[in-house]
Structure 1
Amino acid sequence: MQQKIKRFYKTAAAAPAEAGGFAVLLDGRPLRTPVKTPLVVPVQALAEAVAAEWQGQGAEVDPQAMPLNALTCTAIDIVATHRRQVVDDLLGFGGHDLLCYWTDETGELLQRQQQSWQPLLDWAAAALGAPLRKTCGITSLDQPAASLAALRRAVEAHDDLALTGLAAAVKAAGSLVLGLALAGGRIDAAEAFALSQLDELYQAERWGEDAEAAKRLEALRLELESAAQFLDLVR
């Protein structure tokens, strides 16, 4: 976790970069990523949103309170230089997607999965050309090669910025289908959160909410909101 630091600038603003795109300036000086690459993006709205995060800091700068800045740096420092690895990592989620593992008990939870998850699996089959098998319980399930190839094409269609937002959403939701649905506007962040935590939220309703679990869920909810905001900015 990055530590807070004393604020070292007065103003943050977005401005056109000399070589094209849009930079973030702190007191007129270009902001750089953790590996010292100039933070320059092709989308003005994103640069303005990152600048707003920096401008909104108080006497101390809290990196944890600047998720758009973090995602932008990730896009520049990691995704742009390790794109194939990022795509492969996301396909790992698709090969064992959360939405494909249903409860092996009859009852309300199974009904909720049927009502909530099945429409997204149907969407993946129709919109992405990726019909996925599902199973009951936790036994590992292999997916059709053609479906995995279709999911790869869907992931690779995203540019570096959008791929960064997609990756953040997938990792928070634990589901490539949910991440692609969020990136494609099929669902919003609140829906992605509810769908990804369907089992846990159901158990909390039955047995009560655990404080640590609630804290973890809130962190995941915020991660999905940030990913969705980032995706909206770079579309």
Structure 2
Amino acid sequence: MSDWKPKRFWTSGAVVEADGGYTVELDGRRVKTPAKAALVLPTRTMAEAIAQEWDAQDKEIDPTMMPFTRSANAAIDKVQHQHGEVADMLADYGDSDLLCYRATHPEALQKRQSDAWDPALDWAAEMLGARLVPFVGVVHQSQATEVLQQLRNRVHGLNAFQLAAFHDLVSLSGSLILGFAAAQEWRNPDEIWRISRLDELWQIEQWGHDDEAHAAAEIKKVAFLHAKRFFDLSI
């Protein structure tokens, strides 16, 4: 396998206005996505974050150190062309939301779930107009059609950049409600991430710490927090 990496070919990057938003220029040449589309960004703050990533590159370009660039590329090259399909896939989480499936035992875990998850469901009922109902057990039980449609409409209302970030907020947490809660700043994203991992943290308390599982969880946490930052930059 080749270890070739593209070399830095520019001296400095700059944010400039473009049709429909902002873009980044490298020595006057506008950056394009991997699919050769124009990198047009919805806000100047997002463009500035991406320009900083390009300026931070040394002799070789390391895409792993450019998370905002990668998220913007995904929004333009993928999500923008599959918006409806992506929105529907994420909206489907509402009918099997993590927060709605409660433990049958022990009582201590049931109480912890109720204390952490009920406030999120209450927030969604008030702020999103969507009351999801919790159940005991893991057998699927459908939520009310009108509630799911309300949530679906909200997901479809996100633009491609917001939806790219929202994808990770929902899929990493396992909860459509927590995705909205993070996007709309119900609580700080670190706390929302901990709420999403309540069951895993309970298992750690019972059975002990696993280094491999912890490392995987930390990678997901970093991705979740990045998704929140990218969502904020899209507004």
TM-score (norm 1): 0.92
Residue type at the aligned position of 1:109: L
Q: Is the 8 A contact 1:94 1:176 kept in 2?
A: yes
1:174 is matched with which residue?
Answer: 174
Cα distance in 2, alignment partners of residues 207 and 54 from structure 1: 44
**Runs ≥4 in structure 1, deviation > 6 angstroms?**
none
2:82 is matched with which residue?
Answer: 82
Cα distance in 2, alignment partners of residues 172 and 84 from structure 1: 20
Residue type at the aligned position of 2:37: T
2:14 is matched with which residue?
Answer: 14
Q: Is the 8 A contact 2:122 2:131 kept in 1?
A: yes
SS of the equivalent of 1:25 reads strand
Cα distance in 2, alignment partners of residues 131 and 20 from structure 1: 37
Residue type at the aligned position of 1:9: F
Cα distance in 1, alignment partners of residues 102 and 157 from structure 2: 29
Counterparts of 1:145-164 in structure 2 under 5 Å?
Answer: 145-164=145-164
The alpha carbon displacement at 1:113 in A equals 0.7
The alpha carbon displacement at 1:169 in A equals 0.8
Cα distance in 2, alignment partners of residues 71 and 18 from structure 1: 19
* 1:52 equivalenced with 2:79 (yes/no): no
The alpha carbon displacement at 1:4 in A equals 7.6
The alpha carbon displacement at 1:18 in A equals 4.5
- Cα deviation code 1:161-181 (max 9, x no counterpart): 222211121111111100011
1:63 is matched with which residue?
Answer: 63
2:203 is matched with which residue?
Answer: 203
TM-score (norm 2): 0.92
- Cα deviation code 1:72-104 (max 9, x no counterpart): 111111221111001101012111111111111
Cα distance in 1, alignment partners of residues 18 and 157 from structure 2: 28
Q: Is the 8 A contact 2:8 2:58 kept in 1?
A: no
1:193 is matched with which residue?
Answer: 193
Residue type at the aligned position of 2:73: C
* 1:131 equivalenced with 2:128 (yes/no): no
- Cα deviation code 1:15-61 (max 9, x no counterpart): 22443521112333211111110111121100010111222233332
Residue type at the aligned position of 1:216: A
Q: Is the 8 A contact 2:8 2:57 kept in 1?
A: no
Cα distance in 2, alignment partners of residues 123 and 18 from structure 1: 38
SS of the equivalent of 1:190 reads helix
Cα distance in 1, alignment partners of residues 126 and 4 from structure 2: 46
Cα distance in 2, alignment partners of residues 11 and 194 from structure 1: 42
Residue type at the aligned position of 2:225: E
**Unaligned stretches of 5+ in structure 1?**
none
Cα distance in 2, alignment partners of residues 104 and 33 from structure 1: 49
SS of the equivalent of 2:213 reads helix
Cα distance in 2, alignment partners of residues 231 and 86 from structure 1: 16
RMSD: 1.7
SS of the equivalent of 1:15 reads strand
- Cα deviation code 1:168-197 (max 9, x no counterpart): 211111111000111111122202210111
Cα distance in 2, alignment partners of residues 18 and 113 from structure 1: 48
SS of the equivalent of 2:78 reads helix
1:111 is matched with which residue?
Answer: 111
Q: How many corresponding residue pairs? A: 233
Question: Against the structure 1 CA distance between its residues 61 and 137, is the aligned structure 2 distance closer, same or farther, given a 3 Å change threshold?
Answer: farther
Q: Which moved more, 1:133-142 or 1:37-46?
A: 133-142
Cα distance in 2, alignment partners of residues 97 and 158 from structure 1: 20
Question: Against the structure 1 CA distance between its residues 45 and 142, is the aligned structure 2 distance closer, same or farther, given a 3 Å change threshold?
Answer: same
Q: Is the 8 A contact 1:4 1:62 kept in 2?
A: no
Cα distance in 2, alignment partners of residues 71 and 4 from structure 1: 23
**Percent of aligned pairs with the same amino acid:** 37
Q: Is the 8 A contact 2:174 2:196 kept in 1?
A: yes
